[in-house]
Structure 1
Amino acid sequence: MMTKFKRSLAATVAVLGVLSVGLGAAQADDSAKDWSTIRIGSEGAYPPFNFLSPSGELQGFDIDIAKALCDHMKVKCDFVAQDWDGAIPALQNGKFDAFIASMSITEERLKQIDFTNKYYNTPGALAVAKDSTIADLQPASFDGKTVGVQGSTTHAQAVEKFLPDADEKVYPTAEEYQLDMANGRLDGVSDDIVVLSKWLESEAGACCKILGSFPADEAIYGKGAGIGLRKGDEKLKKMFNDAIVAIRADGTYKQIQDKYFKFDVYGK
């Protein structure tokens, strides 16, 4: 028994040693890699930040920012459409090298992946029907009311915290909760204020109005939207961070921002 235990222990130590070397090599590979081609994942279902054109091409603010960053870094970027719920595992497993899809930098996500500095930061808000009797964002006003949100988002967490008595209904995409809201199946919906504002400007969003915005709770919303990266890809992280600073300094960021918004989305 002792012999088997010792052999098992030795084998375990050997495996751990190999894994340790492998992890070290992976980090060293990032330092040596030229990153001449970068695969970028994005959701494609969160307008105006990211969406799919009729031909299936990824477009939107996130995508234009990504292309500007790639141009500054002088690298070739290939884009991959990725469902939101599977984004972090897909990034970890190497389906793409960076995820640029309005993902907030939160402590919980930082346990799994790394992030660049923010590239924008806008508040979360809640919209209701134009004829709604709900007058404010007080918890009592939403007692027994149904609020739609996209799953696995900071906005879902905000509803849980700020409207604990509401019945939260989770959807895979923003487009799906918007459809239910327009058809009168929900009492309210929560999302980024820009996403809601753009939706309300459309024919589909003519049903509704913004009731108000939630407090900027960093424990929920994090430090803004950043570019998701694998742990250990430090060279790539620096490349992106330097490029974010550069496109803000040379006016490229503002040109892209003004294409989609009438106000500064970078935040403080």
Structure 2
Amino acid sequence: MKKTMKKIASAFLAAALAAASLTACGGGNSAAGTSAAGENADGKKVLKVAMECSYAPYNWTQPTDANGAVPISGSSDFAYGYDVMIAKKVADQLGYELEIVKLDWDSLVPAVQAGTVDCVIAGQSITSDRLQSVDFTDPYYYATIVTLVKAGSKYENAKSVADLAGAVSTSQINTIWYDGCLPQIPDGDIQPAHESVPAMLVALSSGRIDLVVTDKPTGQAALIAYPDFRLLDFTGTEGEFQVSEEDINIGVSLKKGNTELKEAINGVLSEMNETDFDKMMEDAIAVQPLSN
């Protein structure tokens, strides 16, 4: 939800235990609203999808193709997770071959703008700020805001944002979690943002901070890797974090004007409902790294 929407990937695993075009769905044509897919050596159209590959359960890196993981472009590793499941469904329905491109969080939007990838499926919130830079499809997930603390913390039994008063906190850079939620904590001591979800979770695990704010799927994934964490969910109470619908609706971002691809993806997403999305997310959480 990285502003929604980051790495229980190889980096997160280590901590817990010790980004060329569809020739960019049109490359230069996408700005004109076309989606002239590029082709691979076999003549099949290719959909280039960017993500971090390090934001479980949305996406992560793994060494094998277990559970249907997809090769990461230019790497011997594979990507899997909720975002990969969605990307596979879109590519299959549209008759494209899927190519996963691994990029840092802050490189995702620039890659779409430059046309080096066709779209980003990476847990991005559909915010008005982001919409100034890229277009978005309809939502493919609806997230909620949660807080993670360590067991035994004085905040472990908090029932509202107000109960987190004075907490030392952090989250991931350029997310609604960091920019919009942490400032709502009364007298909070907000530490510098981290580049990734794994980094912010390590900070919490080490005791350097009291809490992190994230979205529920990310929090649920973290509980598996860090069983001494506790998840606090104030959603639906008077003491919840104040966020707008755009902050928690997650969509696929595309280059501005690429109407054809946007409508094609929306056609695939329209065949699914919120229950389908939730079930797919449950499946992703069940097979994420450290889930067994």
Greater mean deviation of Cα atoms: 82-91 or 225-234: 82-91
Q: One-letter code of the match for 2:169? A: V
Q: Partners in 2 of 1:32 and 1:207 — Cα distance?
A: 47
Select 2:130's aligned residue among 97, 109, 122: 109
Q: Which runs of 4+ in 1 moved over 3 A?
A: 24-28, 137-141, 213-221, 251-258
Q: Which has the larger radius of gyration?
A: 1
Contact persistence 1:41–1:100 (CA under 8 A): yes
Q: Which runs of 5+ in 2 are unaligned?
A: 1-27, 39-44, 64-75, 287-292
Q: RMSD value over aligned CA atoms? A: 2.6
Contact persistence 1:61–1:256 (CA under 8 A): yes
Give 1:256 deviation, angstroms.
3.3
Number of positions where the alignment pairs a residue of Structure 1 with one of Structure 2: 233
1:179 is aligned to 202
Q: Percent identity?
A: 24
* Cα deviation code 1:76-96 (max 9, x no counterpart): 221100100121112111221
Residue 233 to residue 207, structure 1, CA distance change in 2 (3 Å): same
Q: Which runs of 5+ in 1 are unaligned?
A: 1-23, 263-268
Residue 220 to residue 173, structure 1, CA distance change in 2 (3 Å): farther
* Residue 257 of structure 2 is aligned to residue 236 of structure 1: no
Residues 87-236 of structure 1 mapped to structure 2, 5 A cutoff: 87-134=108-155, 135-136=157-158, 137-139=160-162, 141-143=164-166, 145-163=167-185, 165-169=187-191, 170-202=193-225, 205-213=226-234, 215=240, 217-219=242-244, 221-222=246-247, 224-236=249-261
2:12 is aligned to none
Residue 120 to residue 230, structure 1, CA distance change in 2 (3 Å): same
Residue 197 to residue 256, structure 1, CA distance change in 2 (3 Å): closer
Q: TM-score, normalised by structure 1?
A: 0.78
Residue 111 to residue 207, structure 1, CA distance change in 2 (3 Å): same
Contact persistence 1:116–1:241 (CA under 8 A): yes
Structure with the bigger percentage of helix: 1
Give 1:164 deviation, angstroms.
5.0
Give 1:141 deviation, angstroms.
3.3
Contact persistence 1:159–1:190 (CA under 8 A): yes
Q: One-letter code of the match for 1:77? A: L
Q: One-letter code of the match for 1:207? A: D
Q: Partners in 2 of 1:34 and 1:138 — Cα distance?
A: 47
SS across alignment from 1:40: strand
Q: Partners in 2 of 1:101 and 1:77 — Cα distance?
A: 15
Residue 78 to residue 173, structure 1, CA distance change in 2 (3 Å): same
Q: TM-score, normalised by structure 2?
A: 0.72
